[in-house]
Amino acid sequence: MTRSVSLVTLAALLWSTTGTAAFYLAGSLSPFAIGAITFGAGGVVLALLGGRRSLAVVRDKETTWWVLIGALGAVVYPVSFYSGMAQAGIAVGNVVALGLGPLVGALLEWMVDHRAPRKSWWVIAGFALTGVVLMSAGKVERVAGPLEQASSGIVWASIAGLAYGVYTFALGRIMRAGHTSRAAAGAVFGSAAPFLGALVVLTVPMVMMPALHWSLLAYLVMGPMVLAYVSFSAALAKLSASSVATFALLEPVGAALLAILVVGERLSAQTWWGMLVVVCALLCLAGAVRVPRGSITA
């Protein structure tokens, strides 16, 4: 279990850097394009890493529908997530999107698997979500002044949170059917890649970018996408989707710190209190996670 917690923590820390990297890419690419390119290219890499095992997941009648459902979530998530951060701010966009993840994951586990989380999980997750709400309701400014279109950004981030919960649950279902974590990630994100690639071709004009921007884009593909989701899916093989999504709440805390220190976002006292509540909840959650039977780790 300790290894699984470490893996999802690594994924969360990598994800926490996406908003800052995207901020510096804004002059060359739209948030929509950044999301489509990173998840599209990353999905191809994950599919190659999964190889024949990922193809077996797609062909398995027991998991085909879960691949399609997960791929739908993986198509919707990146374009809405990056749009949410651009319009509502990096800190708020992250906490709204990631804060919805545990709730969506738990509801899907309850409705589909008929497997309600432990009472202690509900208490701790509720505590964590309270922190997320505090952070989301706080005032956010950048050096240039208040952010515009914050309300529409929160809508985009909420859509991203729903999509995140959906593909997290789908990955867990595929692995419980007997497939490895790498095969599941390759199948889901690889299936999403053609659709995201089509979005890039149809909507993104060919642009000349400086070398630094190409480096940032490559980092988003190989770090927060490939390495993070290899780690994330491996953690799902040992922990429930709701527990993994709750540990991933470390991401908005890290993202908020980077937004403050690097981008220049200014957070209210209410937002700072929310960050403290989330960290405390994560520490408490370590003793209340559920380990599903029949875990597959290789």
Q: How far is CA 267 from CA 22, 86, 96, 157, 260, in A?
A: 19, 16, 15, 18, 8
> What is the predicted pLDDT for the residue at 18?
92
> What is the predicted pLDDT for the residue at 297?
36
φ/ψ of residue 214, rounded to 5: -65, -40
Judge contact between 183 and 57, C-beta under 8 A: yes
pTM of the predicted protein model? 0.82
> What is the predicted pLDDT for the residue at 295?
38
- The single-letter DSSP state of residue 116 is P
> What is the predicted pLDDT for the residue at 145?
55
Q: Where are the domains of the chain?
A: 2-285
Please, is 179 exposed, middle or buried when counting C-beta atoms within 10 Å of its C-beta (0-12, 13-18, 19+)?
A: buried
Report the candidate in 191, 186, 190, 163 with the shortest Cα–Cα distance to residue 175. Answer: 186
> What is the predicted pLDDT for the residue at 107?
81
Q: How far apart are CA 15 and CA 235, in angstroms?
A: 15
> What is the predicted pLDDT for the residue at 298?
35
> What is the predicted pLDDT for the residue at 144?
55
Q: Residue-wise pLDDT tens for the chain (298 aa)?
A: 577 788 888 888 998 999 999 988 887 888 888 999 999 999 999 999 999 999 999 999 999 999 999 999 999 999 999 999 888 888 888 878 877 776 787 788 888 878 777 777 778 778 877 877 777 776 667 665 556 566 788 889 889 989 988 998 999 899 989 999 899 999 999 999 999 999 888 776 656 677 788 899 999 999 999 999 888 888 877 777 666 766 777 787 888 889 888 888 887 788 778 778 877 776 676 555 544 433 333 3
> What is the predicted pLDDT for the residue at 68?
96
Query: Which residues are CB-contacts of 18 (< 8 A; sequence separation ≥ 6)?
Result: 81, 82, 85, 220, 224, 255
